[in-house]
Amino acid sequence: AYVITQPCIGTKDASCVDVCPVDCIHPGPGEDGYDDNEQLYIHPDECIDCGACEPACPVTAIFEESAVPAEWKQWIKINADFFQGA
């Protein structure tokens, strides 16, 4: 799955949402019942690994899971945890 990492925080450009063919990028408050708005998150089980979102992000926040830079590896878990219990 693809993962949204630290550069999204404070930017939330949302261009990624428009290009995702399966609508698996979730915005936060008021959307889907999730209560968080620091960044956007990709649902790891819904992402079909199409790659469309990666070049759409102006701040290069999105990476395929295996390509997440070392300093942002914890965002793999942050994205997954966001959907736990939702």
- The helices-and-strands tally (H runs, E runs) of the chain is 3, 4
Site string for ligand SF4, 55-84 (x = CB under 6 A): ------------------------------
Length of the chain, in residues = 86
The 8-class DSSP code of residue 68 comes to: -
By CB under 6 A, which span of 5-13, 21-29, 67-75, 77-85 interacts with ligand SF4? 21-29
Identity of the residue, 9 or 56, whose beta carbon is nearer to ligand SF4 in the bound complex = 56
Number of residues that bind ligand SF4 (CB under 6 A): 14
Encoded tokens for 34: 């999730």
